[in-house]
């Protein structure tokens, strides 16, 4: 029997009740102005905090793909709880949320593993990790039924980013695949400092500048817990022909809570061709 990864943050980071969850996501979507990008969305950058903090930002990205059809979605997140080298894939079974089970695109997952030994099955990396799960209800609401591949980066260095981007591109070639890079931005700075630090990420995102982003993260002029997933998402988008980017929304937790003494930054962006 294939593995089923049960939800670990439903009921805390987002509603555990199906109808409440649907209503919340509908409300987030309804608050987003309609945007029609002239092109095909290849990758999204989205936050992974609790919905009360970052749900409205995430909705700005996910509303763009509502009703679209993809052969598969690849969700890339950082590892917050388990230390390991390389990248972990959950290659069979599915993830469960209050909206149902999202099945793993097994053939694509196996192809990703076969191309390079960078990506392996490390089940413990997925058990408590929220950065993948938090994206799924939005994807389920926007797309309906779809298969996906969850990838968790234990190592977010430049070499790993470049290799993972190559693996994803080679594996997904010939298919219509959506890439989702899961990341929050600066953590626990004052409001104004956070805005300044996060502006560095925004600038690099606008310029498709993955090298600059990695350097800024390395020298700590900016922060992003999922810097690797962001970089990989941009790299793959470029490989797949994306030549345009839309920064959809930036905000931080201070905009929601009113407490500007210690905030977390959030960004939603889309790469398209």
* DSSP codes of every residue in 139-207: HHHHHSS--EEEEEES--SHHHHHHHHHHHHHHHTTS-EEEEEE----EEE-HHHHHHHHHHHHHHHHT
CATH number of the domain at 127, please. Answer: 3.40.830.10
Per-residue tokens: 228:
């690797």
pLDDT at residue number 151: 98
Quote the domain boundaries for residue 265: 38-272
Within-domain flag for 9? no
Within-domain flag for 24? no
User: In the chain, pLDDT over 70 holds for what percent of residues?
Assistant: 100
Considering only CA atoms, which of 93, 235, 237 is closest in space to residue 160?
Answer: 235
Mean pLDDT of 17-25: 98
Distances (CA, A) of 129 to 80, 88, 153: 7, 12, 11
Q: Could you give the number of structural domains in the chain?
A: 1
Within-domain flag for 19? no
Considering only CA atoms, which of 118, 150, 116 is closest in space to residue 136?
Answer: 150
pLDDT confidence bin for 174, thresholds 50/70/90: very high
Secondary structure E strands in the chain = 4-5, 41-46, 72-78, 87-89, 94-97, 100-103, 119-120, 148-153, 177-182, 187-189, 244-252, 263-272
The string of pLDDT tens digits covering residues 41-63 is 999 999 999 999 999 999 999 99
Within-domain flag for 26? no
DSSP 8-state symbol, 223: -
Considering only CA atoms, which of 245, 192, 251 is closest in space to residue 59?
Answer: 251
Within-domain flag for 20? no
Within-domain flag for 11? no
pLDDT at residue number 36: 81
Burial class (CB in 10 A: 0-12, 13-18, 19+), 138: buried
User: CA torsion angle for 238, 242, 246, 249 (degrees, to 10)?
Assistant: -50
Using the predicted structure, report yes or no on whether residue 104 has a pLDDT greater than 70.
Answer: yes
* Distance from C-alpha of 165 to C-alpha of 55, rounded to nearest angstrom: 27
pLDDT at residue number 35: 84
The string of pLDDT tens digits covering residues 124-139 is 999 999 999 999 999 9
Tell me what the pLDDT averaged over the chain comes to. 97
Within-domain flag for 15? no
Within-domain flag for 5? no
pLDDT confidence bin for 2, thresholds 50/70/90: confident
């Amino acid at each position: 029997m294939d593995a089923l990864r049960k939800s670990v943050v439903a009921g805390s980071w987002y509603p555990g009740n199906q109808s409440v969850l649907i209503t919340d996501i509908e409300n987030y979507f309804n608050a987003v102005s309609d945007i029609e990008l002239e092109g095909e969305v290849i990758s999204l950058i989205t936050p992974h905090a609790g919905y009360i903090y970052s749900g409205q930002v995430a909705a700005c990205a996910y509303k763009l793909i509502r009703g679209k059809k993809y052969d598969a979605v690849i969700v890339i997140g950082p590892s917050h709880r388990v230390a390991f080298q390389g990248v972990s894939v959950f290659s069979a079974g599915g993830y469960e949320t209050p909206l149902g089970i999202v099945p793993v695109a097994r053939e694509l997952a196996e192809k990703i593993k076969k191309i390079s030994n960078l990506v392996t099955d490390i089940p413990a990396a997925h058990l408590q990790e929220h950065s993948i799960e938090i994206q799924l209800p939005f994807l389920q609401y926007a797309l309906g039924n779809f298969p996906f591949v969850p990838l968790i980066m234990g190592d977010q260095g430049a070499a790993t980013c470049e290799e993972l981007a190559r693996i994803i591109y080679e594996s997904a070639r010939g298919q219509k695949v959506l890439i989702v890079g899961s990341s929050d931005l600066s953590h626990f700075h004052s409001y104004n400092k956070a805005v300044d630090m996060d502006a560095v990420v925004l600038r690099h995102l606008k310029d498709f500048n993955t090298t600059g982003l990695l350097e800024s993260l390395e020298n700590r002029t900016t922060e992003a817990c999922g810097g690797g997933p962001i970089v990989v998402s941009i790299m793959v988008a470029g490989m797949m022909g994306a030549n345009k980017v839309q920064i959809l929304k930036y905000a931080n937790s201070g905009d929601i809570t009113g407490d500007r003494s210690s905030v977390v930054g959030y960004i939603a962006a889309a790469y398209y061709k």
